[in-house]
Amino acid sequence: MSKTRLPFPRLHHLGSAVVSALLLLLFLGPASTRSSEPESSPTLPLHLERHFPELARVVSAPPAARPAGRRTPSARERYLAAIPYSQEIRRAARSQGLDSLLLASVVEAESAFRPDAVSPKGALGLMQLLPLHFAAHEEPFDPAVNLATGAEYLAQMRRRFDGDLELALAAYHAGPSAVERFGGLPPYRETRQYVGRVLDLYRVHQSSLSERSAAPLERFAQRGS
């Protein structure tokens, strides 16, 4: 009668009791060794593959992929969320390559975030645009429509005046022909006050955002001191 060969050729030298103990450790593994090894490690319990290369084929299954968590909003996103119509402002600003805080400053100066605002000159909505800026099928008092149209117009004025923000705001308020006629800021008191107000609001928003962004770092430094 032929001798029965063990599945691992080098184990028959160790005796049946030792073989049983090794197989038990191989497939079960003590909790202490499992907790000390990384989950993704392919090594065997007690590093048996060092002594028995034949066992190196037996490796633990890769860990299941964990679902990605929700992204933490940035400080800018949290700050903008406190401003009325923040989602519409962000969307309109992004589509035209504008800073969302700049667009929010224009809206604040123009209408104080009132979507139904109407000026004595007939300017409409959040960004106080004239009816000629809208297509016949568009609703001027729809915040999304008004903001998208106003952001597009402001971006056009900024490109027209080579990125000069003061001149772009003056053109938005008084018209580009007035800026070109005077070769700079028109000598209109209302236009100059408007440009100054928008820039002041923009600086305030930027400063407030910087302070809020730095606050967590300051608190962390205080805890560590």
* Active site positions, annotated: 110
- Bridge partners, 124 (sequence order): 118, 129
Amino acid identity, position 224: G
- Write the CA distances from 71 to 20, 55, 98, 139, integer angstroms: 50, 42, 23, 34
| 8 Å CB contact between 81 and 73 | yes
The residue assigned the tokens 């903001």 is 147
Strand, helix or coil at 211? Answer: helix
Closest CA to 99 of 160, 165, 145, 161: 165
